[in-house]
C-alpha cells in the first residue's frame, strides 16, 4: 500500500480542493501547482516514455538543415505523424531534457481543458479534473505524448467553435490528426453532431451497417482498404491481426458505462443553453461517441481512443448548469472512475506506474530511476504473451 501512497495523496488533495469555493484563489493556485508537479514532472513511469525520450535525445543531436532534408527518413524511422515529429524536434532544440518537453505537453493539455471548461460553462473545474484523472491519469496523461497533444489541439478548436469561432476553430481540429491520426475520429464525431438530430442518426446507421459487414466479411475485404498502403495495413492489424486479452470484467464495465453515458447525452439533446447551443452540441457529440464505442466494442484501440475525449467532455458537462440530469451523472462518473482506477492498479502491468517517481525530486536528491528496468520487464511480458 505504501507504494501507492503518492497516488492516494494526489487524488485526496484534488478531492479536498474540489470542495472549496470557486472564489478561493489559493485553492486554484494549489490545484494548478499540484497537477503540474505530479503529472507534468512524472519521471520514467508509464508505458511510452522510453520511446519519446529516446526520440528526443536523438533529435537533440540533429542539425536543423538535416532534419528538414531527411524528414521522410525520420517519418519512416519513428512512424510518427508529421506534426508531432516537427513539435518533438523543436522541443529538442529548446529544452535541455525530455522531462521539460513532457511538462510542456501536459501544460498544453491542462490549459486546453481549462479553456474548454470555460466555453462549456463548467462551474467546478477541479472536480471535473478529479474525474478526468480517475479515468485518464494512466491511460492518457502518463502515456502517449502524441495522443495528448492531438487531444489538446482538438479541444482548443472545439472551445473556439462553442464560442462561435468559425473557420479558425475547424483549423485547430483539422490540425489535430497531424499529432495523432486518431483525432480524425473526433472531427467526424463533431461533424455528425453539429446539426439536426437527424444528422446524428444519418451517421450512426451507416456506421452500424459497416460494423456488421466488418464482423461478417472482415475489414481487409472492404473496398479501397488495400489502396491505403501503410495506413490500411495498420488498420487491418488493429481490426483483424492484433491479439488482445479480453477481460470479462472490463467488458462488463464498458457495456454498462457507455449506455449510461449515451442515455444522459440523449436527454440533453433538446436542451438549448447558450446562444451557440453549446450544450446541445456537446451532448450530441457525446451520444455519437458512446454509440460508436459500442458499435466497435470489440476493437479495443477504437473504444479506448473514444474514451479519452468522451471522459473529458462528460466530466466538464457534469459540473455545468447548462446540462440536465447531472445529479445522476456525477455519481456515475465518480464511482465508475474509481473502479476504473482500482482495476488499473491491480493489473499485472501496474508496476510501470507504481511506485511513482518525480523528476525534480530525483534530480535534487540525486536518486537513481528504475524506469529502464520497468520497461525491460514490460517488454518481457509482452514478448511472452
Spans of all domains in the chain: 2-383
Q: DSSP letters along 168-205, please? A: HHHHHHHHGGGT-TTHHHHHHHHHHHSS-HHHHHHHHH
The whole model's pTM is what?
0.91
Closest CA to 284 of 305, 300, 268: 268
Check whether 228 has a pLDDT greater than 70.
Answer: no
Q: DSSP letters along 244-306, please? A: ----HHHHHHHHHHHHHHHHHHHTTTT---STT-HHHHHHHHHHHHHHHHHHTTT-HHHHHHH
Closest CA to 42 of 52, 29, 28: 52
Closest CA to 88 of 111, 72, 105: 105
What is the spatial distance between Cα 373 and Cα 369, in angstroms, rounded to a whole number? Answer: 9
242-277 pLDDT, tens digit each:
555 567 788 889 999 999 999 999 888 765 544 345
What is the spatial distance between Cα 20 and Cα 18, in angstroms, rounded to a whole number? Answer: 6
301-339 pLDDT, tens digit each:
888 899 999 999 999 999 988 788 888 999 999 999 999
According to the model, what pLDDT value does residue 62 have? 96
Cell numbers of 326, please?
Answer: 447531472
According to the model, what pLDDT value does residue 210 have? 67
What is the spatial distance between Cα 362 and Cα 108, in angstroms, rounded to a whole number? Answer: 24
What is the spatial distance between Cα 69 and Cα 64, in angstroms, rounded to a whole number? Answer: 9
Amino acid at each position: 500500500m505504501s507504494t501507492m501512497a503518492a497516488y492516494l495523496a494526489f487524488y485526496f488533495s484534488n478531492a479536498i480542493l474540489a470542495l472549496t469555493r470557486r472564489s478561493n484563489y489559493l485553492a486554484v493556485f494549489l490545484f494548478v501547482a499540484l497537477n503540474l508537479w505530479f503529472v507534468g514532472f512524472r519521471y520514467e513511469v508509464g508505458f511510452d516514455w522510453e520511446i519519446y525520450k529516446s526520440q528526443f535525445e536523438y533529435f537533440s543531436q540533429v542539425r536543423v538543415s538535416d532534419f528538414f532534408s531527411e524528414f521522410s527518413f525520420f517519418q519512416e524511422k519513428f512512424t510518427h505523424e508529421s506534426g508531432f515529429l516537427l513539435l518533438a524536434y523543436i522541443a529538442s532544440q529548446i529544452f535541455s531534457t525530455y522531462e521539460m518537453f513532457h511538462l510542456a505537453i501536459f501544460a498544453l493539455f491542462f490549459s486546453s481543458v481549462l479553456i474548454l471548461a470555460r466555453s462549456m460553462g463548467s462551474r467546478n473545474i477541479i472536480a471535473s479534473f478529479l474525474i478526468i484523472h480517475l479515468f485518464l491519469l494512466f491511460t492518457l496523461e502518463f502515456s502517449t505524448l502524441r495522443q495528448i497533444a492531438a487531444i489538446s489541439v482538438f479541444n482548443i478548436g472545439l472551445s473556439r467553435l462553442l464560442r462561435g469561432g468559425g473557420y479558425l476553430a475547424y483549423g485547430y481540429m483539422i490540425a489535430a490528426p497531424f499529432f495523432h491520426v486518431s483525432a480524425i475520429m473526433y472531427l467526424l464525431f463533431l461533424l455528425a453532431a453539429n446539426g439536426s438530430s437527424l444528422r446524428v442518426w444519418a451517421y450512426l446507421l451507416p456506421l452500424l451497417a459497416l460494423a456488421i459487414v466488418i464482423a461478417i466479411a472482415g475489414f481487409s475485404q472492404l473496398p479501397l482498404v488495400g489502396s491505403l498502403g501503410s495506413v490500411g495495413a495498420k488498420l487491418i492489424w488493429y481490426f483483424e491481426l492484433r491479439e488482445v486479452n479480453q477481460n470479462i470484467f472490463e467488458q462488463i464495465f464498458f457495456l454498462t458505462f457507455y449506455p449510461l453515458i449515451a442515455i444522459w447525452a440523449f436527454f440533453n439533446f433538446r436542451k438549448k443553453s447558450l446562444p451557440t447551443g453549446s450544450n446541445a452540441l456537446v451532448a450530441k457529440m457525446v451520444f455519437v461517441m458512446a454509440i460508436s464505442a459500442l458499435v466497435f466494442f470489440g476493437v479495443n484501440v477504437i473504444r479506448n481512443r473514444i474514451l479519452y475525449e468522451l471522459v473529458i467532455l462528460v466530466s466538464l458537462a457534469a459540473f455545468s448548469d447548462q446540462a440536465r440530469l447531472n445529479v445522476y451523472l456525477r455519481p456515475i462518473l465518480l464511482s465508475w472512475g474509481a473502479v476504473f482506477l482500482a482495476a488499473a492498479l491491480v493489473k499485472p502491468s501496474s508496476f510501470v506506474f507504481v511506485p511513482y517517481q518525480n523528476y525534480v525530486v530525483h534530480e535534487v536528491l540525486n536518486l537513481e530511476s528504475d524506469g529502464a528496468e520497468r520497461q525491460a520487464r514490460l517488454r518481457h511480458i509482452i514478448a511472452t504473451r
